[in-house]
Amino acid sequence: MTTTSTLLMGAGMGLGLIAAVGAQNAYVLQRSIRGDVAMVPIVLFCVVSEAALLLLGVAGVGALVESAPAALTVMTWFGVVFLLAYGAVAASRALRPGSGLQVDGDARVPSTLGAVAACAAFTWLNPHAYLDSVVFLGTLA
């Protein structure tokens, strides 16, 4: 592959992952729109976490695939099963009116530390983050 096509592929993958707003991004957007917490610590935490996940993917998955090519097949099927289950849960929520996020109501305003802790949970406890950053982008790297 040429450098230009590699650059275009990387840019396309990055844009594709950014366009799909996940739980972490939705939470950060919600907090920033409401303006109820300091956003700099939250954004810094998210940037550092994403960089760490990408580094883990580039360093770890590449080495794993080189040493055990069957691991890529296992990771692929794990991803397929996870996404199918996640899609089924999302479809069932979509079919039940009123089961999603509520716009009105008394939403508790977290402290900045509480908001960073929520971002930590959305980032490090979310299997989707590992699939995107570690497995998918790590495999491409």
Per-residue pLDDT of 31-64, as tens digits, reads 888 887 889 999 999 999 988 988 888 887 767 7
pTM for the whole structure: 0.64
pLDDT of residue 91: 83
User: SS3 letters for 50-92?
Assistant: HHHHHHHHHHHHHHHHHHCCHHHHHHHHHHHHHHHHHHHHHHH
pLDDT of residue 118: 87
Q: Where are the domains of the chain?
A: 22-96+109-140
